Amino acid sequence: MTTPQLGTFKIPEIQNEPMRSYAPGTPERDALYAEVKQMAAGAPYTVPVIINGQNITSGEKIAQPQPHNHSKPLAIFHTATPDQVKDAITGALEAKAEWETLPWSDRAAIFLKAADLVSGKYRYKIMAATILGQGKNAWQAEIDAAAELTDFFRFGVKYVEELYAMQPPRNTPGSWNRSEYRALEGFVLAISPFNFTAIGGNLPGTPALVGNVALWKPSPMAVYANYITYQILMEAGVPPGVIQFLPTSQDLTPALVAEALKSPHFAALHFTGSTHVFKGLWKQIGSNMDTYRGYPRVVGETGGKNFHILHSSADVKNAVAQSIRAGFEYQGQKCSALSRLYVPDTLWPEFKELMLKETAKLKVGDQTTDPAIFIGPVISKASYDKILGYIEKAKAAGGEVLIGGTGDDSTGYFVRPSIILTKDPKSVTMTDEIFGPVITIYVYPSASYTETLHLIDSTTSYALTGAIFSTNRKALIEASNVLRNAAGNVYFNEKCTGAVVGQQPFGGARGSGTNDKAGSLSIFGRFVSARSVKENFVPLGESDWGYPSNLV
């Protein structure tokens, strides 16, 4: 398909999606909980495998439970098989020929429309699926499935426009230099997690926006919200085959992924999940290097063991409130969640009293019907058992459970917000990622602030997020310098969670990932292959091949 380019188009001004409060008496609260009620009543929903735009319902059926009530599935999804991966790759590469040559303004329009569909027509539907299927309360669903997903699509268009505008600054007389940003040669494998619906849309969406095609394997624990995201992208105009939707079971995932990774057309991995799995995938890619046509791009955001440190000058009330949000929002199931907290002995009595008093106020329960619930369920039985198992390990190692430490999985997977006091700054719950509502506190001598900063830097293999609380500028500067490589996102007097697209590009290094910064221009550079073009306007004569230095 060819079309004339009859103008240099400029996209509309991009702003962050305004977030709705869901406060008592607001129309959005009524509309959201009505949608949740209606969706719950209609469950379970059938989710197919989708290859080349065709629904496939011939695979094994797997349930996606509702974690607040695990006896009732939200969806029944059909599983993709390794053999179907071959068909998905073939179909994606066929779709790529037209997709990557589509004028940029048309790809941009498709994703801007998808953003409007998320923020408008489907806002409450995708939020309801996130609440029921992934255990979020209204606010957590709003900042994820509505606002962040919308922002990923809108700001993605803005950043790609800026990327394409990056052109050589100089041209010699009689010539014109240009830079092209080609889609990668092959397909992208996108593997998304359960904990953010927005990430599910972003992992295939980012490479697709610059002309790539993607095989998308969603988490089995977020299938329904991801299926809605897929449907939104198709309604917005993404052609069949550009994104292949391949839900599958935990058991089939390794074989399905291995089939994709052994293809000579594998061009990139876009991953969010555990550090252990990411390292395993990287090893597989490395072992297949002789198979590939090029060097695949590997982009991943993995785990975190995120910290708050209070300097002796810290505003204690602020630090308490920020720590409760960072550690216990969404049950601690954010890769950026607070899990290790360092408090000087001079502030500990006040901090302890306030932290325990406020934590005791947090309501735990069914967040789908009660807006007052702050702590909903953790995602699965395996997660529930892991979290309580780590609490027992901490107790066995001498840790003191100050509050919480218990759970109830009879109906849903509920774990009470838990705070552990340790005298060992390298105890198991200070080093291992738990992914649950557990904060471990180490009280350090106030005079040992500098030493404690170095302790934080050396305690874990992760380097995702962290926060420093101090009203002393010198203390903030010192911490920022010592902890320069301990976090890819660092916050001053603010919680270590809540990065916003277009404001705080997100990602960490060390064991936390490749730090390609989702929600920024830089990540799009990972999914293009630049080509430099020089066009000459002044031809040489037949004997003009020499240079002045050759004259005698």
Conformation bin of residue 307: beta by default, left when phi > 0, alpha when psi is -120 to 50: beta
**Kind and range of the H or E run holding 324:** helix 316-328
What is d(CA 374, CA 387) in angstroms, rounded to the nearest whole number?
A: 18
Helix axes 104-119, 149-164, angle to 10 degrees: 160
Residue among 17, 100, 259, 335 flagged as catalytic: 335
Residue 94 a catalytic site member: no
Which residues in 57-70 are b (16+ Cβ under 10 Å) and which e? Answer: eebeebebbbbbbb
Which residues make Cβ contacts (< 8 Å) with residue 360, sequence separation at least 6? Answer: 403
Full 3-state SS string of 177-221? EEEEEEECCCEEEEECCCCCHHHHHHHHHHHHHCCCCEEEECCCC
What is d(CA 481, CA 237) in angstroms, rounded to the nearest whole number?
A: 47
Q: How many CB atoms lie within 10 A of CB 521?
A: 17
Sign, Cα dihedral of 298, 301, 305, 306: positive
Backbone angles phi, psi at 235, to 5 degrees: -65, -30
Q: Which residues make beta-bridge pairs with 216?
A: 190, 245
Q: How many CB atoms lie within 10 A of CB 523?
A: 24
Nearest to 402 by CA among 341, 455, 444, 459: 341
Q: How many CB atoms lie within 10 A of CB 324?
A: 22
Max intra-chain CA distance, the chain: 94
What is d(CA 189, CA 121) in angstroms, rounded to the nearest whole number?
A: 29
SS3 467: strand
What is d(CA 483, CA 494) in angstroms, rounded to the nearest whole number?
A: 16
What is d(CA 432, CA 304) in angstroms, rounded to the nearest whole number?
A: 9
Residue among 17, 148, 259, 301 flagged as catalytic: 301
CB 218 within 8 A of CB 190: no
Distances (CA, A) of 175 to 171, 533, 548: 6, 10, 20
Token pair for residue 212? Answer: 């790539």
Residue 301 a catalytic site member: yes
What is d(CA 27, CA 37) in angstroms, rounded to the nearest whole number?
A: 16
What is d(CA 332, CA 325) in angstroms, rounded to the nearest whole number?
A: 9
Active site residues: 301, 335
